[in-house]
Amino acid sequence: MNVLVLNGPNLNLLGKREPDIYGHETLADIENALRHRAFNEGVEIDFFQTNHEGAMLDRIHDARARVDAIIINPAAWSHTSVALLDALKAFEGKVVEVHLSNIHTRESFRHHSYISSRADGVIAGLGSFGYLAALDFLTR
Ligand code: DQA
């Protein structure tokens, strides 16, 4: 199995950005934990973070027919991007949407995610463990 982990805008600032909401771990910490778990499971894993929506769309197009599953934290694009939804609809594999925070207990504009209608599963509010839970689900 081949898994691609995608992180959207501002997630490069994890650990520094609103740590009371998003925690003290950096994105590198999260990626290292995932790399370790993937290695133990014999899963190939790749990572991509961008603050540029077009770059994210291109990376998803590139994953078509090459990647079995995507774990994505679309960050703010969850709430705004039909283009990201459409790109994921053009991807044939499994998609798990992850949010560090519980978007449903926050501001109302975060309650709706365009991505959720395409996702096979949605995890919110489990902090960085959400990414590992997503990987566990995919490797079951
Ligand atoms: C987030 C939640 C989004 O509402 C927010 O814009 C983010 C991060 C999360 O992981 O909790 O940037 O996706």
Antiparallel, parallel or unpaired: β 69-73 and 44-49: unpaired
**C-beta 37 within 6 A of ligand 1:** no
Is the CB of residue 60 below 6 angstroms from any atom belonging to ligand 1? no
Give the model confidence (pLDDT) of 84-109 as tens digits.
999 999 999 999 999 999 999 999 99
99 a catalytic residue: yes
69 neighbors 4 (Cβ within 8 angstroms): yes
The share of the chain scoring above pLDDT 90, in percent, equals 99
Report the pLDDT value the prediction gives residue 20, as an integer from 0 to 100: 94
Give the count of domains, the chain: 1
The number of the ligand 1 atom at minimal distance from the alpha carbon of 9 is 12
Query: pTM of the predicted model, to two decimals?
Result: 0.98
Question: Which atom of ligand 1 is found nearest the CA of 10?
Answer: 12
Assess whether the C-beta atom of 99 lies below 6 angstroms from ligand 1. yes
Per-residue tokens: 107: 């501001």
pLDDT digits (tens, 9 = 90+) for 47-87: 999 999 999 999 999 999 899 999 999 999 999 999 999 99
Expressed as residue numbers, the domain containing 71 is 2-139
**pLDDT of res. 37:** 98
Residue nearest to atom 13 of ligand 1 (CA): 75
pLDDT tens readout for residues 6-23: 999 999 999 999 999 999
**DSSP per residue over 15-67, as a string?**
TTS-HHHH-S--HHHHHHHHHHHHHHHT-EEEEEE-S-HHHHHHHHHHHTTT-
116 lines ligand 1 (CB under 6 A): no
58: domain CATH number?
Answer: 3.40.50.9100
Query: pLDDT band for position 117 (50/70/90)?
Result: very high
